[in-house]
Amino acid sequence: MTGAEKILVDTRLKTPVDSLPLISLADLYAQWAQHTAIPAERENFGQQADALYSEALTLSPSDDELWFKRALLNVNVFNQIDLAQQQLKKALDSNPASENAYGLSGYILMQQAGTSEPGKQRDAMLENGRQRL
């Protein structure tokens, strides 16, 4: 256990109804999951982060930033795009002006369009929008 992890775990135990230690610890595990090259560690840290984000969401179910962070975890660590999109919808339901949720949603749409050229991305997103209407 690292120093930062120990401090956050201890703080979490002392203040069980405060979501800040939960979120900070989840953020730490999410960062570790994204940066490790060992698949088992990636899965373990990702699961720990997801469980803590879930717990924090029970305390603050309308926190759009938490929904965004959980969606980001599902994109970057688990590659669960459909689940991430559901979580982004919850973020936008909680805060229709959430820039982070819109940004990640746009990123997902560009990746689904399968192109890295800006003009083609725009055209693909417009076509995707037309198909949904």
Print the domain residue range for 57: 3-97
The answer to whether position 104 is within a domain reads: no
Number of domains, the chain: 1
pLDDT at 17 over 70: no
Write the CATH number for 32: 1.25.40.10
Whether residue 75 is contained in a domain is answered as yes
pLDDT, one tens digit per residue, over 100-131 is: 999 999 999 888 887 555 556 556 655 655 55
HEC string of 41-77 equals HHHHHHHHHHHHHHHHHHHCCCCHHHHHHHHHHHHHC
Per-residue DSSP letter, 104: H
* Unique residue bearing structure tokens 């305390």: 59
CA trace torsion 91, 92, 95, 101 (10° rounding): 70
